[in-house]
Structure 1
Amino acid sequence: MIIDTHTHLYSSQFNNDRDEVIQRAKNVGISHFFLPAIDSSYTQKMFDLEKKHPDSMFLMMGLHPTSVKENYQEELAHVKKWIDNRKFYAIGEIGIDLYWDKTFLVQQQEAFRTQIQWAKEKKLPIVIHCRDAFDEIFEILETEKSADLYGIFHCFTGNLEQAKRAISYNMKLGIGGVVTFKNGKIDQFLNQIDIKHLVLETDSPYLAPTPYRGKRNESSYLVKVIEKLVDIYGISFEKISEITTQNALAVFNV
């Protein structure tokens, strides 16, 4: 059993072959697909996917930092409405993204902090999106840290020191295609991090691993990530699958 802890299977990039993509993933042993939210425009697509595949699709709810715009209060209200009215497995993906645009940094910080507090209230994990914003993310985690704050640092791309700091806030590191990139860098220190702190993800349709880099990513390609971790840790494919699956089930309380 293998778990993809982060896939945007509701993306329009899968509109022509979504069922085949899901089947290919199941054929290589992927049993659970965790779907992060982006904003209200995707909510119904997520619900539709869950309805069609109730045993394998697990939904999160949250406001993605790149969707924090002038109407972010309305979007946060949408998140709150849904988390008050049905079950989700995490609040995510949430965080700060300063790669594309710094205009709404203050609003991103407020949205991140607010959603962390909701996650604590609901006893749910958070799934963090961080791009060019480690200092800003850590600043908020430092003020919000507590026994009931935990989750996943999605698509971790930091250095060893940042990895250790993320783990200190009860975060697992989400490891995907980047670990296979020649310039990804995380492969150079990951063996210094106990595998008990890792979960697997694709972030599909983005960040396809080598040898698919630059193409559309899909959950079945997670095997390439595991193969790279076999090289890094020197333990079997099966053992990595088993440990990371248990890590994911523990985070999401499944």
Structure 2
Amino acid sequence: MILTDTHTHLYYETDSAKLTELMQRSLDNQVSRLFLPNVDSKSIPLVFGLSEQYPQHCYPMLGLHPCDVREDFKEELAHIYKEANLRKIYAIGEIGIDLYWDKSTLSIQQEAFRTQIGWAKQMGLPIVIHCREAFGEIFEILEELKDDKLRGIFHCFTGDAAQAEKVISLGFYLGIGGVLTYKNSGLDKVVQDISLEHLVLETDSPYLTPVPFRGKQNESSYLVYVALKLADLKQIPIEEVARITTLNSEKVFGV
């Protein structure tokens, strides 16, 4: 069985011994494919450092997180773009729009999002979208820029059935994580009616820890609990969930 964590910030752990333990627990739980998004220029060395340490298991992605789009965002984008062209990466991400913390930066978030979608098309890569309280704003841009090169994952999807259908209609995958295990999230009811062909799994570690570890720091090894919940909802073996969601990840990332 091979489980794929399509979105983890495991590299945030800078203690090398603890990071080794995190990776070993992940591999012990058969979570053997980990896709690593940076958030800004400072996190790039951490992403590449872990990817180089575990080249058979870790795959780097680069982008500017919407919460890190500030006054100097053009300089940040220039630095990230340069790095993205120097080494092999597998997606542009995580990118998008976040209006939870700061609505005043909407216009520059939109500009950064459009720019990075352009990179992805130019490089033939998927995008990994961060969306928080900005579904309408993000979809307006996706509809504007959609073509046969636009593809990717809606990371940490927690929307309703109608939103899920809109994502799927654009050919994107839904990234399903720990929120699926939360009792009152409602995500279980949405996912129950969606074919596995449209889903990939993720942890977003160290955030959004699944039950039974909710309240503690998340890690990629806990992806197994998301997979178990999905298997229970679909009434199929966890091995089948792993097989299909990993196949989906291979399709979107090309590896």
Determine if the TM-score, normalized by the shorter chain, exceeds 0.5: yes
Q: Distance in 1 between matches of 2:169 and 2:25?
A: 36
* 1:3 alignment partner AA: T
Tell me if the contact between 2:176 and 2:202 (Cα under 8 Å) persists in the aligned partners.
yes
SS of the equivalent of 2:113 reads helix
Deviations 1:78-132 (A, max 9, x none): 1211222221100000000000111210000000011011101111000000000
Tell me if the contact between 1:7 and 1:204 (Cα under 8 Å) persists in the aligned partners.
yes
Tell me if the contact between 1:177 and 1:202 (Cα under 8 Å) persists in the aligned partners.
yes
Q: Which is worse superposed, 4-13 or 163-172?
A: 4-13
TM value normalised by structure 2: 0.97
Structure 1 equivalent of residue 219 of structure 2: 218
TM value normalised by structure 1: 0.97
SS of the equivalent of 2:94 reads strand
Aligned residue pairs, count? 254
Q: Distance in 1 between matches of 2:160 and 2:176?
A: 13
Deviations 1:217-246 (A, max 9, x none): 011111110111012111111100000000
Q: Distance in 2 between matches of 1:236 and 1:204?
A: 24
Tell me if the contact between 1:13 and 1:205 (Cα under 8 Å) persists in the aligned partners.
no
Structure 2 equivalent of residue 49 of structure 1: 50
Deviations 1:58-94 (A, max 9, x none): 0001000000001000011012112222211000000
Tell me if the contact between 1:173 and 1:199 (Cα under 8 Å) persists in the aligned partners.
yes
The answer to whether the aligner puts 1:123 opposite 2:108 as a matched pair is: no
Tell me if the contact between 2:38 and 2:94 (Cα under 8 Å) persists in the aligned partners.
yes
Tell me if the contact between 2:114 and 2:141 (Cα under 8 Å) persists in the aligned partners.
yes
Q: Distance in 2 between matches of 1:117 and 1:85?
A: 17
Q: How much identity, in percent, do the aligned residues show?
A: 55
Q: What RMSD in Å do the two structures reach over aligned CA positions? A: 1.1
Q: Distance in 1 between matches of 2:169 and 2:138?
A: 13
Structure 1: 5+ residue runs without aligned partners? none
Tell me if the contact between 1:90 and 1:125 (Cα under 8 Å) persists in the aligned partners.
yes
Q: Distance in 1 between matches of 2:196 and 2:15?
A: 31
SS of the equivalent of 2:4 reads strand
Structure 2: 5+ residue runs without aligned partners? none
* 1:172 alignment partner AA: Y
Deviation, structure 1 residue 14:
6.2
